[in-house]
Amino acid sequence: KDFDFGIVGLGVMGRNLLLNMADHGFSVAGLDLDAEKAASLESEADDKHTVKGTTNAKEFVQLIKKPRAIMLLVPAGKPVDAVIKSLLPYLEEGDIVVDGGNSYFEDTNRRVDELAAQNIHYFGMGISGGEKGARFGPSMMPGGDENSYERLRPIFEAIAAKVNGEPCVTYLGRGSAGNYVKMVHNGIEYAIMQLIAETYDVLKRGFEFEDDELQNMFASWNESELQSYLIEITAAILKKDDEITGKRLVGLISDTAKAKGTGKWTSQNAMEIQAPVPSIDLAVNMRDISKYKEERTQASKTYAWHGDSENISKESLMANFKDAFYFGMLSIYAQGMAQLTIASKEFDYGLNLEEVTKIWRGGCIIRAAVLEDFRKAYKANPKLPNLLLDENLASKLNVHQKAMRSVVKIGIDKGIPMAVYGTALTYFDAYRSETLPTNLIQAQRDYFGAHKYERIDKEGIFHTEWEE
Ligand code: 6PG
């Protein structure tokens, strides 16, 4: 009785979060329909900790002290609704249900409303950091009713990753704010993963770098301003040998990528709210193109291309790629953060981007040294519409701009796709263009569809009879 917290779904994530809470002195009850998962829980926590597993929803709910705090760690979609339905008969006014999965934010909006009708507070909370993060310190992105967050705060702050003693969790905003922020986190994750993969591709396929050279390069990047979790694991991946063949494992892995959908959702909603995120769009596209292996194989024979192999030393290539990577990474974060800025207005989330960058500094998949620079940028100017307008970041981007252009040219010459490098640069170039050729597009629209246009020299809406 009087357990501090409840967790539904004792798969890897649920179980690890539960054990993390128990480590921090909280008593936690777990619910899972799988009797074995429920039963084995108690043996996993040591004697000092109070944990209890059950398969019975009523018993589970009654174990938790009021107002209850219950977190769901079940697959997004129908399973979430099914669990809510099974708990609902036993829940009472003021209780809190937290969905810790990668739920679609519109689903969360619906559930917030459905449960609010019974005075139950529903939170959508993104959790990042994978299995290890869940066990030893994730980054957590909760959104929902601000007052009821106080009931969750001590537990979440205790189990979250810490950076300089500060927990990587904070109340983010209203409604589905937490799911939306996690969705964009994943979009950024997709684009940075693709940026790293393109670096690997051009250097390996275009300039015959060995895995060892690439491994060393990424490991040294990780000691620089590029320090980040995704670079760190890339270096580790590149040195792993296959146990059976003794070859590098990465070269034996199929190049057909899978995706669970959060990157796609980021792009879809970005289009909806007119927040351009071309690098995320292309990162999703590249995973999709990777599926057409047979067609790619066929086309590779039709369109063989042996790009000119200008003599560039490996040292200068690596130096240029390092600066270009920094540039690309900044452009990607700028796109994602701008999407959050626009979404916060569109959906009335009330996001504080300094807080978002603060809780992304540790625990999550996109944690990186640059997040501290972003936090400072938003601290200095909470209304900053785009990271590209921050003066400190701008001075770095200006230094790295030349390298970025030379690297993108290399991809074009070699015939190796650099979709995310290319779009990261295009986004930058479009954003810094005072004039764009969209005046011509407006004229074309008016020509064929009488869609009208505005002028730069006088007020009003105009239409022209273009044909003589
Ligand atoms: C995280 C990850 C996590 C998961 C992704 C993978 O932050 O811990 O983003 O949520 O690994 O959903 O996404 P894909 O399967 O779509 O690549």
349 close to 146: Cβ distance less than 8 angstroms = no
The reply to whether 48 and 152 lie within a common domain is: yes
pLDDT, residue 308, reads: 73
The reply to whether 166 and 196 lie within a common domain is: no
pLDDT, residue 60, reads: 97
The reply to whether 264 and 188 lie within a common domain is: yes
Place of tokens 């609010």: 116
Contact 32 CB / ligand 1 (< 6 Å) = no
Sign of CA dihedral 270, 272, 278, 280: positive
pLDDT, residue 48, reads: 66
Contact 259 CB / ligand 1 (< 6 Å) = yes
pLDDT, residue 391, reads: 98
Question: Relative to the CA of 257, which ligand 1 atom is closest?
Answer: 17
Contact 189 CB / ligand 1 (< 6 Å) = yes
The reply to whether 197 and 158 lie within a common domain is: no
Contact 102 CB / ligand 1 (< 6 Å) = yes
Contact 129 CB / ligand 1 (< 6 Å) = yes
Question: Relative to the CA of 186, which ligand 1 atom is closest?
Answer: 9
Question: Relative to the CA of 365, which ligand 1 atom is closest?
Answer: 7
**ipTM score of complex:** 0.97
Residue nearest to atom 11 of ligand 1 (CA): 130
pLDDT, residue 203, reads: 97
Residue nearest to atom 12 of ligand 1 (CA): 260
CA 259 / ligand 1 centre spacing (Å): 8
pTM for this prediction: 0.97
Burial of 42 (0-12, 13-18, 19+ CB in 10 A): middle
The reply to whether 344 and 369 lie within a common domain is: yes
pLDDT, residue 287, reads: 98
Residue 280 belongs to domain with CATH number: 1.10.1040.10
The catalytic residue positions are 182, 189
pLDDT tens digits, 26-70: 999 999 999 999 888 877 766 667 899 999 999 999 999 999 999
Residue nearest to atom 9 of ligand 1 (CA): 186
pLDDT, residue 301, reads: 95
What angle, rounded to 10 degrees, do the helices at 149-159 and 12-23 form? 90
Q: Which of 293, 82, 265, 254 is nearest to 182 (CA)?
A: 265
Residue 462 belongs to domain with CATH number: 1.20.5.320
pLDDT, residue 10, reads: 96
Contact 11 CB / ligand 1 (< 6 Å) = no
Number of compact structural domains in the chain: 3
CA 335 / ligand 1 centre spacing (Å): 19
Residue nearest to atom 8 of ligand 1 (CA): 128
Q: Which domain holds residue 451?
A: 435-468
The reply to whether 186 and 166 lie within a common domain is: no
Residue nearest to atom 1 of ligand 1 (CA): 128
State the Cα–Cα distance between residues 134 and 113, nearest whole angstrom.
Answer: 28
Q: What are the residue ranges in the chain where pLDDT is below 70?
A: 45-48, 309
State the Cα–Cα distance between residues 343 and 181, nearest whole angstrom.
Answer: 9
pLDDT, residue 46, reads: 64
